Structure 1
Amino acid sequence: MAGALLLFATPALPIQAWADTIASPKPDKVAVTLYRGGDGPFQTLDTWQREEAMAKGLIQVTETRTVFLPAGRHTLRFDGVADALIPQSATVEGLPGTLVERNYDYALLSPGTLVERSLGQTVKVVRTNRRTGRRTEEAATLRQGPEGVVLQTAGGVEALGCSGGTEALVFDTVPAGLSDKPALSTMVDVAVPTQATLTLSYLAIGVNWQADYVARIHPNGRTLDLTGWLTLVNASGTSFADAPTQAVAGRLSRVEVDVKRGEARPIARNCWPMDTTHRGRRLVHPEPPAAPAMMMAPAPMMEGGLQEVVVTGKRKLAEQSDVGDYKLYTLPEPVTVAARQTKQVAFLDQKDVAFQRLYVVQLDPWSDYDETDDPPAATVVLRLDNKPADGLGKPLPSGALAVFETAGGRPAFAGEQAMRDVPVGQPFDLAIGEAMDVRVRPRLVAEQDRRQDRVRRVYEVDLVNAKTVPIVAEVRMATNRQGFKVVAEPMAHDMRDGAAAWRVTLPANGRKTLRLVVEYDD
């Protein structure tokens, strides 16, 4: 790269505070509440969908800060707030005076913003001779940047980083309004000097959560253990340390807002094209010096922008309660939700939950099911009832559920499914895969017009169980055709997910044929 470009501020000079500004560097205490956003478990989303889901996730932050406020008008600056704060949601309680105005300052100290805020100012240009290593300094005025830095020196106007040598800029001060962290400020009139304890509350995006479940089926094939985890995903650049944490299950009505994020800006070199001014010779340059600490690149990130996954080792469970029409989960102890981190905390641990294993076949009343059609597959479904009598009776927020069976004394992955919100008292199905030993062959054996506007169809469904144990098959037929009616059936049907459902027991290595007669409008 031609002309390594390095920018830094003189370490001995502190960042200048605004006139009459009182800074609160960080909160004394912080508590957070997470609200879900987006559709579907994070595992099922593409990278851009995951980023969009993070933007829909919401966190409510409550900070306690102690500051001394002299008498008079002051700007009180809260440093270190979330980098995706929603400014209009912020409130401050405990101010000992009259609130005049409020600002969200999201211009972060970075090479780009440093140049941008210093245009027209005098800086030093430090050049290093790449052959001798000798350093020289020259005063210059910043004329343009950060998209191509242009300087005016005693020798004329030049573009920084385009000379082929190593160059750097040195700034004596940091411009007012730049901070290494986002800040929220408020102007207040204080009558008398006060040591105030303030409560700052606000909403921010970039933090989300979901439920993740693991079901372990017992060897008896009739019960399972169900473990649930609250998965907290912090895709923002802000850490919430040692914070009492809650998560709210349910879909809130929200209005989309345009959030200004506190993002660092880079600078770009706009130089002449390579090989156009040196008669075909490519410039060769020494390796640039290592960047100082303030400019080091972040650690490599995992897919989705997260750096670390943390699972809490203790099995204390989150406590569930109601908040209006939503479910509130309170973590048993404060946790640190670090920037770019995923953390999991257990909230459910139910033993010996009863379930029924079914082999579900979906039929389509539109299809003729001739010999050329591929037969429908039988889906393996675990049917549970969310009742205390069956070992559950807990609100189950939506998320992803992984199922494990036992094979040779070891757990074996048996399938995974996205799970909806399941209230107490409601049954739910978990479709975990397709059965290899259960075969299905439906046939349309007769069709006639009952009237000019009515059609009657006769179906026969051959069910074959090649397993060495009996099974229960459930045959479903969609009822969404106009005027749909079951005319004849071998046993009474019920409704399951908007379809008529018939259940039949198949013996080991056995078969049965189900004959169904239906009518609907033509």
Structure 2
Amino acid sequence: MQKTRRLAAVLAALPLAGVTAAGAEGEGPQITVYNQDFALVRQVRRLHLKEGDNELRIGGLTALLEPDSVVLRDLQDTRGLRVLEQRYAGDTLSQGFLLRQHEGKVLSFQTVNPATGRKEVVSGRVIRSGYAPQGSAATGGTTPIIEVDGKLQFSLPGEPLFDGPGPDALLQPLLLWNLWSDRAGERDFELSFITGGLGWRATYNAVTSEKSARFDLVGWISLINNSGGEFKDARVKLMAGEVNRTQPLQARALMLESAVAEVPPRPPQVTEKALDEYHLYTLPRPVTLLNGENLQVEFCRGSDLPAERLYVYDGSQMNVYTGWGPEMARTRPDFGTESNTRVASMLEFTNGKASGPGIPLPRGTMRVYRADADGTREFIGESALGHTAADEKVRLYLGNAFDLVGERRQTNYRIDATKQSAEESFEIRVRNHKSEPVDVRVVEHLYRWSTWKIVDSSDPYEKTDAKTIEFRVKVPSGGEKLVAYHVRYSW
């Protein structure tokens, strides 16, 4: 407690260094936001220093700043400044902080009498505040303990009432610096630090037409600021990819080069470039990020993009065989025979440079809408989209088709232990209750062993990976399609 008071007194005695942009008037900070809920912030500060030792406190920070990531750099003379000592004060004025200050003391609490509806004041001694200070080992705090009329209760009896804050009240996070300068005067410095609480995600809205699968696409970037700080006129870049960080988070300042986007004749768009093993997206204009705010910016758009509507029947239900070993998979006749009846509805397209959008798409959620005959748009499903490079194929799961039903059953299984082989046969039926014929892709997993051969099949198939085949069949309206095959495994 005494340590907190001493630090507050020191902070109150020091000048608060303001923020002045170097270069263009009103230029804001530069922020690189990672899709792992942290960001690198770079600000230019104009500081008035004297020759020798200087003590300053710096505001305009975040509540989730990582102190050991702070880098202070003189923009003109890298050797003219040294940070002799740095302290981060992030435990700002709050109810929990003041309760902790009153532990062991009697405090007034305001309550509402449920019978009369009138406000009343009761007194209670704060035995334990339950507040975990910023940066302490306890992250979530504990339950407060208050003594009222000789009885302990594990909750606040009402709204605590405090006296007015003194001059040493910490209203915003501060950096307390002891700096050495080789000369006196006004100098521009770059301050950079890593902070938690800043993140971003991509969302996509695709609208398909009534009679075809071609679609219009709009991609949005959502910036989320829960850092406890605010950024005015910030130049923002977004990093897509998984940047390695140690656990627990060990901060390090990542100094990234600036990217200058060309200004096209139409409204500026989000630009993208590769950076090492990641992709960096630059917003075209400065944005203001308020604490607790969720801001959306459009970053890609495409019209009349080619796509294909797919129906996929993947009938095997392999999740029920968890824990089965290779020997059981080869020798147990019932392995892999459990099935489901669901036929998946999917949308498939190529992220082509010629057809569009043709840029690396960061992972996110894609929502798909379909235009109805009366012109209204109806939501028909959504799917997770992984990081997708240009010219890669995308297959989106939208849901299960209502009017399509699948059926899968094993018709034969025989094992020959002397020849170390097994043979198996399946029949798959897909029934179509729609008013028009549909194309269905029937997927089969050859899960028993890695060495296999299709001995006989009713329809042509395509090998999609080492243990998967796919039949592409047409199912007539009001009818069904039978697919049968016979496979031989050897080991």
Shorter-chain TM-score tier: 0.7 to 0.9
1:71 to 30, 34, 51: 51
What does 1:337-376 correspond to in 2, within 5 Å?
337-364=289-316, 375-376=340-341
The reply to whether residue 475 of structure 1 matches residue 442 of structure 2 is yes
Once the two structures are TM-superposed, the CA of residue 114 in structure 1 deviates from its matched residue by 5.3
- 1:331 aligns to what? 283
Once the two structures are TM-superposed, the CA of residue 509 in structure 1 deviates from its matched residue by 3.5
2:301 and 2:357 in contact (8 A); partners too:
no
Once the two structures are TM-superposed, the CA of residue 113 in structure 1 deviates from its matched residue by 4.0
- Residues 454-499 of structure 1, C-alpha deviations (whole Å, 9 max, x = no match): 2211111122222223321111112343235233232131206962
Once the two structures are TM-superposed, the CA of residue 187 in structure 1 deviates from its matched residue by 1.1
1:369 and 1:443 in contact (8 A); partners too:
no
Once the two structures are TM-superposed, the CA of residue 162 in structure 1 deviates from its matched residue by 6.9
Identity among equivalent positions (%) equals: 24
1:404–1:124 CA distance, 2 compared to 1 (3 A):
closer
- 1:45 aligns to what? none
1:409–1:115 CA distance, 2 compared to 1 (3 A):
closer
1:456 and 1:520 in contact (8 A); partners too:
yes
- What is the TM-score of this pair, normalised by structure 1? 0.69
Which structure 1 segments of 5+ residues have no match?
A: 1-14, 38-56, 129-142, 149-158, 261-313
Distance across 1 between alignment mates of 2:160 and 2:359: 64
2:450 and 2:466 in contact (8 A); partners too:
no
Distance across 2 between alignment mates of 1:243 and 1:381: 39
Distance across 1 between alignment mates of 2:200 and 2:161: 44
- Tell me the amino acid that sits aligned with residue 269 of structure 2: L
- 1:241 aligns to what? 232
What does 1:275-290 correspond to in 2, within 5 Å?
none
The reply to whether residue 81 of structure 1 matches residue 80 of structure 2 is no
2:370 to 405, 420, 425: 405
Distance across 2 between alignment mates of 1:430 and 1:127: 55
1:498–1:75 CA distance, 2 compared to 1 (3 A):
farther
Q: Secondary structure at the match of 1:179?
A: coil
The reply to whether residue 196 of structure 1 matches residue 187 of structure 2 is yes
1:463–1:74 CA distance, 2 compared to 1 (3 A):
same
2:195 and 2:227 in contact (8 A); partners too:
no
- 2:256 aligns to what? none
- 2:85 aligns to what? 101
1:172–1:35 CA distance, 2 compared to 1 (3 A):
closer
Distance across 2 between alignment mates of 1:230 and 1:473: 34
2:18 and 2:46 in contact (8 A); partners too:
no
- Residues 112-159 of structure 1, C-alpha deviations (whole Å, 9 max, x = no match): 545766999xx999999xxxxxxxxxxxxxx988739xxxxxxxxxx9
Distance across 1 between alignment mates of 2:59 and 2:86: 14
2:221 and 2:296 in contact (8 A); partners too:
yes
- 1:457 aligns to what? 424
1:84 and 1:259 in contact (8 A); partners too:
no
2:18 and 2:47 in contact (8 A); partners too:
no
What does 1:429-468 correspond to in 2, within 5 Å?
429-452=395-418, 453-468=420-435
1:222–1:258 CA distance, 2 compared to 1 (3 A):
closer
Q: Secondary structure at the match of 2:430?
A: strand
Distance across 2 between alignment mates of 1:416 and 1:497: 29
Once the two structures are TM-superposed, the CA of residue 243 in structure 1 deviates from its matched residue by 0.6
- Tell me the amino acid that sits aligned with residue 227 of structure 2: S
Distance across 2 between alignment mates of 1:383 and 1:493: 17
2:461 and 2:472 in contact (8 A); partners too:
no
- What is the TM-score of this pair, normalised by structure 2? 0.73
- Residues 218-254 of structure 1, C-alpha deviations (whole Å, 9 max, x = no match): 2231311111111111223212222111111111111
- 1:21 aligns to what? 14
Distance across 1 between alignment mates of 2:446 and 2:267: 46
- Tell me the amino acid that sits aligned with residue 202 of structure 2: A
1:113 and 1:146 in contact (8 A); partners too:
no
Q: Secondary structure at the match of 2:212?
A: coil
- Tell me the amino acid that sits aligned with residue 514 of structure 1: V
What does 1:170-189 correspond to in 2, within 5 Å?
170=163, 173-175=166-168, 178-189=169-180
Aligned-CA RMSD value: 3.7
Once the two structures are TM-superposed, the CA of residue 404 in structure 1 deviates from its matched residue by 0.4
Once the two structures are TM-superposed, the CA of residue 521 in structure 1 deviates from its matched residue by 5.6
The reply to whether residue 33 of structure 1 matches residue 26 of structure 2 is no
Once the two structures are TM-superposed, the CA of residue 211 in structure 1 deviates from its matched residue by 0.7
- Residues 71-126 of structure 1, C-alpha deviations (whole Å, 9 max, x = no match): 33122221121110111111001174332122211121335545766999xx9999
1:502 to 471, 477, 481: 471
Distance across 1 between alignment mates of 2:95 and 2:430: 70
